[in-house]
Amino acid sequence: MKHKSKTKTQRKALLNLFLPVFQSKNLTHREAVKKSVTVGLQVHGEQRTQTFPVEVIKEAIIISDLFDLNEYAALELLLAGKEHFILIPRISG
């Protein structure tokens, strides 16, 4: 049990390095993210709303649960990672 607590603390510390303000999970945000498959959601501070594929929503919820992170922040983190992944040159082998 003590190991899990230490791991959770380390995860939060790691996230604090990357996120300006650590946000807690929020049931209202979770439901909004889940509904964003059909109901648009504002992300990246944009005025317009976007819908997302089911796979993206599932990944965001997993990230939220793993790191005890707000669902909006988890979605933003996932989207930022996907944007930057495109910029990484592929190693051909």
Please choose, from the candidates 38, 25, 12, the residue with its C-alpha nearest in 3D space to the C-alpha of residue 75. Answer: 25
pLDDT digits (tens, 9 = 90+) for 38-91: 999 988 777 899 999 999 999 999 999 998 899 999 999 999 888 877 777 776
Phi, psi of 39 (to 5 degrees): -105, 125
pLDDT value at 13 more than 60: yes
pTM, full prediction: 0.70
pLDDT value at 6 more than 80: no
Q: What are the sequence ranges of the domains in the chain?
A: 23-87
Beta bridge partners of 50: 41
The pLDDT of 24-29, averaged and rounded, is 90
Q: Classify residue 72 as left (phi > 0), alpha (psi -120 to 50) or beta.
A: alpha
| The predicted structure's pLDDT at residue 83 | 82
